[in-house]
Amino acid sequence: MTSVSGSRLSSIDRLPAEADDDIVWAHGELKAGKRHKYEILDEFNGRLADKGIGSISRSAWYRHTVAVAEATRRIEQTREIAAAITERLGPGQTDDLTIAVSETIKTLVFEMLQDGGREGFTPKQAKEMAEAIRAAVAAQTVSSDRRRRIEAELDAKVEETLDKVGTVAGLSADRVAQMRRDLLGVRS
Model pLDDT for residues 100-126, shown as the tens digit of each residue? 677 767 666 666 666 555 555 666 766
Residues of the chain with pLDDT > 90, as a percent, come to 17
Is residue 26 within 8 Å of residue 40, measured between CB atoms?
A: yes
Count of CB atoms within 10 A of residue 176's CB? Answer: 18
In this structure, are residues 43 and 68 in contact, taking their beta carbons and an 8 Å threshold?
A: no
Average pLDDT over residues 29-33: 85
SS3 5: strand
Q: Which residues pair with 9 in a beta bridge?
A: 4
**Helix (H) or strand (E) run with residue 135 in it:** helix 123-169
Residue 59 CA to residue 183 CA, distance in Å, equals 67
Contact (Cβ atoms closer than 8 angstroms) between residue 143 and residue 98 = yes
User: Tens digit of pLDDT for each residue in 74-100?
Assistant: 777 776 776 676 666 665 565 666 766
User: Which pLDDT score is estimated for 41?
Assistant: 94
pLDDT of residue 97: 67
This prediction has a pTM of 0.46
Q: Write down the pLDDT at residue 117.
A: 54
- Per-residue pLDDT, averaged over 147-159, amounts to 79
